[in-house]
Amino acid sequence: MVTTAAVLLAGGTGTRLYPASRSHRPKQFLALGDDDRSLLRRTADRAAFADDLFVVTRDSYADRVREAVPEATVLVEPAGRDTGPALAYAASEVSDRLDDAVMLCLPSDHVVGEGFRDTAETAVSVAERTGDLVTLGVEPDRPATGYGYIQPGADHGDHYAVRQFREKPDAATARELVDAGCLWNAGMFAWTPDAFLDAAGDGPLAPLVTALETEDGESADSAFDAVDPVSVDYAVLERASGVRLVPAGFDWDDVGAWDALARRADGDNATLGEALTIDAAGNVVASDDKHVSVVGADDLVVAAFDDRVLVVPVDEAQRVREVVAELRENGQF
Amino acid sequence: MVTTAAVLLAGGTGTRLYPASRSHRPKQFLALGDDDRSLLRRTADRAAFADDLFVVTRDSYADRVREAVPEATVLVEPAGRDTGPALAYAASEVSDRLDDAVMLCLPSDHVVGEGFRDTAETAVSVAERTGDLVTLGVEPDRPATGYGYIQPGADHGDHYAVRQFREKPDAATARELVDAGCLWNAGMFAWTPDAFLDAAGDGPLAPLVTALETEDGESADSAFDAVDPVSVDYAVLERASGVRLVPAGFDWDDVGAWDALARRADGDNATLGEALTIDAAGNVVASDDKHVSVVGADDLVVAAFDDRVLVVPVDEAQRVREVVAELRENGQF
């Protein structure tokens, strides 16, 4: 029987949730919403059915990962280079440690609803059965422009062929893609290490894959340093032939930016922490141990964490990137 | 020669500057602007030419007043009842301590520019010479609706008679009043204790004045408890005959609410504390030791002090009252 190795990606920062996320407290360590567990811990719990648990992270987060997920094998990537190199590294490490494993690759900072295990086990089964790369696709509930889309091809019963990956679309295209039955690329995958490394050897990750296969730590490190940051979607999936698609049977939100909380609001305003709103609607009011009052203002994100406060219109929540860029430049992120 | 007794009113809270002002840290103890000194300390320094210095405050602020203004005689009002009772109490206390004094009554939480002493000495001189109540009038730089106005009457050389006090006007009336040469009532006065107590004996403060004149502390305390909060303008000045007006030869701002900082801004935004603004203008961004970012939003007050954050449009800054009312109800102010 196949060994399922859950591989959690926990090397990112989730900068668009600043000031909740900071360089010293990336998003996966946050306990967003009603659940006291961090997003990382929830992901580990969700993947507990797997035979083995790995977490790929960067050196500076490694201790906290070990503390949050003591049952996991922590893989410290030689350098932060986005999901492509991280997953190549993970594939190499899993391959060294386990025979006949299928990797179930999961972001560690998403919010995922009920029904995850069924979909994940299907994806693992398809990956094992076909030897192909498998991606999970989430059914869109809106024509989002912030995600890539996957167009399903032939129906194979428990999965589809992938006809085409589509990059983050503009608003009009997003509507067309949703109407055409495309699914969101949610960054969750299943594959064997060999299938992945084979596919990765054919693109920008080729030098890294070669270095990893030499089993020489030093050359892997320097190959990591040499590779440009690149997403697994661009570096591997969009170039690979025969990618399979398993539709997700669960709710999903990547909580990528503060506007995600507005989508998840019950009442007039989405609140996290203590808030007082007077004649105010459509706001996201989020804080740690603070008390935030909003009077006579609509559709704003007001986020207060530690000694940092952010105000930005909800529909410009992505612009938090501009703040973070400026803060980084000043060593204040 | 007349003895000038500066009497600083320091019993208020300045609630509209919440969250900078709080029940435990009223506005007069704040160091607003570039000056490190608190508004109270600045007022004491400004009045240092007086022969005696008194500060009227409430019991819970008394120790901090003594610390901030060690040279002052601190008068602790039996109960907080607005400026009318506070000044009656002060008049009684000054009268007990000093012969032939003129009280120079000053709010302790305003920002006042150069030239104060000349105007104040004129007001004291007029009060001593005429035996009448004297009020200072500030030349308006805009048709503000938040202040009372004073219409000057006959010109007496170094002062005017007061023709009429006008309550806080609506916008159209404010413009008329400014055009007609009316001045703002800035809450700064000069009078002898006797002149004030005589005038105050003729209105809602009559029972309090009688009790204060019995020289019996207990009856004064209970009279204080019995009197309704009332401003000195309503309780005394607007009813008195022969009030005199000395035009102020200095810049003045009561910094009553956060929009005051917008008026005093040099650049696109008024900032107090560390702030990052991107594509944002007309905002008041104020904090203690925090860092506040505002992106893509205009004309907002964003104020962060201690564990409190407030967001309100600049032109609705007075609505901070609604926040404070709600917080008080919950014991959170």
What was the ipTM of the complex prediction? Answer: 0.89
Q: Taking CB atoms and an 8 Å cutoff, what residues of chain A touch B322?
A: 278, 295
pLDDT digits (tens, 9 = 90+) for A48-100: 999 999 999 999 999 999 999 999 999 999 999 999 999 999 999 999 999 99
Q: What is the pLDDT of residue B220?
A: 81
Contact A312 B297 (CB under 8 A): yes
Domain edge (last residue) among A200, A226, A253: A253
Residue-by-residue pLDDT tens, chain B, 333 positions: 689 999 999 999 999 999 999 999 999 999 987 789 999 999 999 999 999 999 999 999 999 999 999 999 999 999 999 999 999 999 999 999 999 999 999 999 999 999 999 999 999 999 999 999 999 999 999 999 989 999 999 999 999 999 999 999 999 999 999 999 999 999 999 999 999 999 999 999 999 999 998 867 777 888 888 899 999 999 999 999 999 999 999 999 999 999 999 987 878 999 999 999 999 999 999 999 999 999 999 999 999 999 999 999 999 999 999 999 999 999 999
Domain edge (last residue) among B207, B223, B253: B253
Tell me the CATH number at A157: 3.90.550.10
> Does one domain contain both A249 and A267?
no
> Does one domain contain both A178 and A138?
yes
> Does one domain contain both B191 and B274?
no
pLDDT digits (tens, 9 = 90+) for A1-27: 689 999 999 999 899 999 999 999 999
Q: Among B276, B313, B316, whose Cβ lies nearest the Cβ of A323?
A: B276
pLDDT digits (tens, 9 = 90+) for A129-154: 999 999 999 999 999 998 999 999 99
Q: What is the pLDDT of residue A34?
A: 78
> Does one domain contain both B181 and B68?
yes
Residue A301 · residue A258 · CB < 8 Å: yes
What percent of chain A has a predicted confidence (pLDDT) above 90?
Answer: 90
> Does one domain contain both A145 and A45?
yes
* Stated pTM of the model: 0.89
> Which residue range(s) make up the domain with A171?
3-253
Decide if pLDDT at A162 tops 80: yes
Decide if pLDDT at A216 tops 80: no
* Domains in chain A, number: 2
> Does one domain contain both A187 and A112?
yes
Q: Among B292, B312, B332, whose Cβ lies nearest the Cβ of A291?
A: B332
Residue A8 · residue A44 · CB < 8 Å: yes
Q: Which of A295, A305, A312 to mutate to test the interface with B (most CBs of B within 10 A)?
A: A295
> Does one domain contain both B267 and B124?
no
Q: What is the pLDDT of residue B214?
A: 86
> Does one domain contain both B105 and B173?
yes
> Does one domain contain both A82 and A13?
yes
For residues A202-231, average pLDDT: 88
Closest chain A residue to B283 measured between Cα atoms?
A: A311
Closest chain A residue to B286 measured between Cα atoms?
A: A309
Contact B312 A319 (CB under 8 A): no
Domain edge (last residue) among B253, B286, B317: B253
> Does one domain contain both B132 and B196?
yes
> Does one domain contain both B247 and B297?
no
> Does one domain contain both B210 and B91?
yes
Determine the 3-state secondary structure of A320 from DSSP. helix
Closest chain B residue to A18 measured between Cα atoms?
A: B293
Q: What is the pLDDT of residue A328?
A: 95
Average pLDDT, chain A: 95
